[in-house]
Structure 1
Amino acid sequence: MLFFRILLVFILIVRVKCVVKISQDCNIPAIYNFGDSNSDTGGISAALYPAGPPTGETYFGIPTGRASDGRLIIDFIADRLGLPYLSAYLNSINANFKYGANFATGGATIRRQNESWFQNGVSPFSLDVQVEQFDQFKSRTTYFYNQAKNESDRSNLPNPDDFSNALYIIDIGQNDLGACFRSLTNPQCIATFPDIMRDFATAVNQLYNNGARAFWIHNTGPFGCLPIATTNHPNPEPGYFDELGCRKDQNDIAIEFNTQLKDKIIQLRTELPYAALTHVDMFAAKHQLISDAKNQGFEDALSYCCGYHKNGVDIWCGNKAIVNGTEISAISCPNPSKFISWDAVHYTEAANYWIANHIVNGSFSDPPVAVSQACRKSYTI
């Protein structure tokens, strides 16, 4: 009997030690982000035409290049890790890269597109270009850091030792789907996915070969639930929309895209022995919010705050146009916090805050680790 009591105590001690080990956070000194407008903190605005008001009105008070009324999910992730908001790599004004850099640009895709920003809003900075920019960023900042004569000269530069301990976030893919829906049939769209996944894997491999180890990878959200996808369909066929009012075919394709992305991440885990790759199911997180919008304090889940999208006419947030002889101003709503969608494509700060709070603790992650523990490969005891 005494033996079993001792054994029980030993098991409890081991479990307690394991829990302590599991709960330990990583030392994440910086974030390097790659993506599209869902996480762009000013890149495309610095490179091309700056986003104007009313973007930024809720939190910053001025436009900052974010496609929202305020902060993005990436901003709330930085908050969770105790880091400043990321400066866009392409923004040379008042930028601070000591704690990382943001290479995301609005309109960016994984696969290079034969389109332009001026044609369909496609960024020239696709994922492969962003990774090349990171390579140059690391090389040049390391050179200047080592050449600096004092700490003040290094104040805005990353410590070269931090690159291997940084968190590498990848949040991209929505625009690859958008490009498909513009020009391809649904089967043709799906046929492009293997090539897109190869391009994605190439980018991850390049980052890994340049020292990246901790990856936090978002899949793409429910495209068919974006208001821009659900508007202007006066006579839909039966089954066109699902029970939430989302476009079923587009969500089905997004699910297939995410399935192939997850399979590729699983493959990369076997190929990159020192990498910790966390897959974050943004589709599930966003879909949960949309499904429970009113209980979470939001109005109609598929409406939007800023813009005009009616009768085949699209006037984007902050712009004006003449419609049937009348000037229409696409201004923001009185209370953006009551809406999930800011401009029919992107999310409001309130929605971004809700989503961020539900992903940073690992609830939608595989493996189920919090963002603060994303450097750990496994929790298997």
Structure 2
Amino acid sequence: MSPYGNTFFGMPAGRFADGRLIIDFTAESLGVPFLSAYLNSLASNFSHGANFATLASTIRLPETILPTNGGSSPFYLRLQYSQFAQFKARSQIITIQGGVYGSLMPREEHFGKALYTFDIGQNDLTQSLFRNQTLEEVNATVPDIINQFMDNIKNIYSLGGRSFWVYNTRPIGCFPSILTGFPSAKKDSAGCAKQYNKLAENYNAELKKGLAKLRNQFPLATIVYVDIYSALYPLYVNPAKYGFKLPLVACCGYGGEYNYNAAAPCGQTVNVNGTKIAVGSCKDPSVRVNWDGFHFTEAANKFVFDRIFNGAFSDPPIPLKMACHPTQLHS
């Protein structure tokens, strides 16, 4: 619902931002159309790729299915992989049948040439925190989260995937939702919650190790670790240098120091002292970092993409265009 999508699409477009996401900028840079969501059955063209992501997805099997109340999506990573496996098999049947539907499907050879991107894991951390698990308890789950993540990449490799572009998680200690939910947390010089960023850093270190092991196991694959944490963090340290302001404050929200209240989410109408208030956008999302407490503005997504696409924040330092064949993209 509005104001989601208003900056670029002029309407809600299945993205939890005011406009484009990193995956959209990725598609544009490779010269392919935006990816259709696998779950969108209406007028979808999957010939250039498909997007299996959903709001609030986790790597591990979710403990609660309450996405509108800080819980998880039922479409966790193992289920997304199952959907991908079904998509691969079913799309080839449709292609053989031909006709207009066949033209909307990828060909068999595309699956081995595609770029498989992953931007997941953040919700495994934040949702556990909001279920009142301690930092120690959440940190203890990181090895299992990473193991399950690596298992899913292995599964895609077994179906022919060879190029993988894996994002680490963002500095969650800078999120308005975390800063509001855990107000007593110690802050760093940028105003972010130190311990919660340490949790993200621990997750990222384990992810990097896991991907390094996969590279040794599958030498024919291109497996790239992309450090969007480091690419994004300068916006919190020195936002004015890059044309941003109020990086810790949600653009679309209501109330409090960080303009975030879990009971008044972006786009909803809430009752405040008997008055109905529409929770809307700030005046200029183009200079803001955080969109709705958890997600980022199009401007911040563009800033990150511009810094990562050439491989400067990647291990190994492979530019995006060298990581895949530019005619196909999967996410």
**Normalised-by-shorter TM-score class:** over 0.9
Residue 223 of structure 2 is aligned with which of 262, 277, 301? 277
Deviation at residue 233 of structure 1 after TM alignment: 5.9
The aligned counterpart of 2:43 is 94
**Equivalent residues in 2 for 1:12-161 (5 A)?**
52-117=1-66, 119-148=69-98, 152-161=100-109
Distance 1:343 1:211 in 2: 37
Please report how far the alpha carbon of residue 309 of structure 1 lies from its aligned counterpart in structure 2 after TM superposition. 4.0
Q: Does 1:211 align with 2:164?
A: no
Give deviations 1:303-327, integer Å, cap 9, x for gaps: 1211114389431111121223333
2:174 partner amino acid: C
Return 337-346 or 202-211, whichever deviates more.
337-346
- CA apart distance, 1:289: 2.5
Query: In 2 relative to 1, CA 127–232 (structure 1 residues): closer, same or farther, beyond 3 Å?
Result: closer
Deviations 1:21-42 (A, max 9, x none): xxxxxxxxxxxxxxxxxxxxxx
Q: What's 2:240 paired with? A: 294
Are 2:116 and 1:168 aligned?
A: yes
In terms of Rg, which structure is larger?
1
Change (3 A) 1:307 1:159: same
**Contact preservation (8 Å) 1:231, 1:309:** no
**Residue 229, structure 1, aligned to residue 178, structure 2:** yes
Query: Residues 329-369 of structure 1: CA distance to partner in whole angstroms, max 9, x if unpaired?
Result: 21111211111111121111111111111111111000111
Q: CA deviation at 1:274?
A: 1.6
Gaps of 5+ in 2: 326-331
Please state whether the residue corresponding to 2:276 is helix, strand or coil.
strand
CA-to-aligned-CA distance 1:146-200 (integer Å, 9 cap, x gap): 221x5x4432111111110000001101100112212311111111111111111
Q: Secondary structure, in 3 states, of the residue corresponding to 2:36?
A: coil
Match for 1:132: what amino acid? S
Identity of aligned residues (%): 43
**2-side partners of 1:313 and 1:120: how far apart?**
12
Q: Counterpart of 2:236 in structure 1: which amino acid?
A: I
Partner of 1:184: 133
Quote the Cα distance in structure 1 between the aligned partners of 2:108 and 2:313.
32
State whether residues 285 and 355 of structure 1, in contact with CA within 8 Å, keep that contact through their aligned partners in structure 2. Answer: yes
Aligned with 2:123: secondary structure?
A: helix
**Alpha-carbon displacement from aligned partner over 1:260-315 (angstroms, at most 9, x marks no partner):** 11110011111123211000001111112322311111111111211114389431
CA distance in 1, matches of 2:287, 2:158: 44
What SS is found at the alignment partner of 2:24? helix
Q: Which runs of 5+ in 1 are unaligned?
A: 1-51, 377-381
TM-aligned CA distance change 1:130 to 1:153, over 3 Å: closer
TM-score normalised per structure 2: 0.93
d(CA) in 1 for partners of 2:275, 2:240: 34
Question: Are the counterparts in 1 of residues 189 and 237 from structure 2 also a CA contact under 8 Å?
Answer: no
Find 2:192's aligned residue among 238, 246, 250: 246
- Indicate yes or no: 2:249 matched with 1:303: yes
| Alpha-carbon offset, residue 117 of structure 1 | 2.6
Which deviates more from structure 2 when the two are superposed, residues 85-94 or residues 112-121?
A: 112-121
Hey, what's the Cα distance between the residues in 2 that align with 1:369 and 1:244?
Answer: 30
Equivalent residue, structure 2, for 1:13: none
Question: Aligned pair 1:365/2:311, yes or no?
Answer: no
3-state DSSP class of the match of 1:351? helix
Q: Relative CO higher for 1 or 2, CA cutoff 8 Å, sep ≥ 6?
A: 2
TM-score (norm 1): 0.81
Separation in 2 of the partners of 1:146 and 1:125?
A: 29
Q: CA RMSD of the aligned region, Å? A: 1.7
Partner SS state of residue 321, structure 1:
strand
Which one of 295, 305, 318 corresponds to residue 346 of structure 1? 295
**1:42-86 residue CA offsets vs partner (Å, 9 max, x unmatched):** xxxxxxxxxx11111111111111001111010000111111100
Quick check: 1:307–1:316 contact (8 Å CA) kept in 2?
yes
Deviation string 1:92-117 (CA, Å, 9 cap, x unpaired) is 11211000000000100011121013
Q: How many pairs were matched up? A: 320
Give the SS at the match of 1:140: helix
How far apart, CA to CA, are the structure 1 residues paired with 2:261 and 2:304? 30
Determine whether 1:194 maps to 2:125. no
Partner-residue secondary structure (3-state), 2:87: helix
Q: Quote the offset at 1:232 in angstroms.
A: 6.0
Matched residue type, 1:181: L
Aligned partners of 1:309, 1:206: CA distance in 2, in Å? Answer: 44
Q: Does the CA contact (< 8 Å) of 2:59 and 2:149 recur in 1? A: yes
Aligned mates of 1:181, 1:117 — CA distance in 2: 15
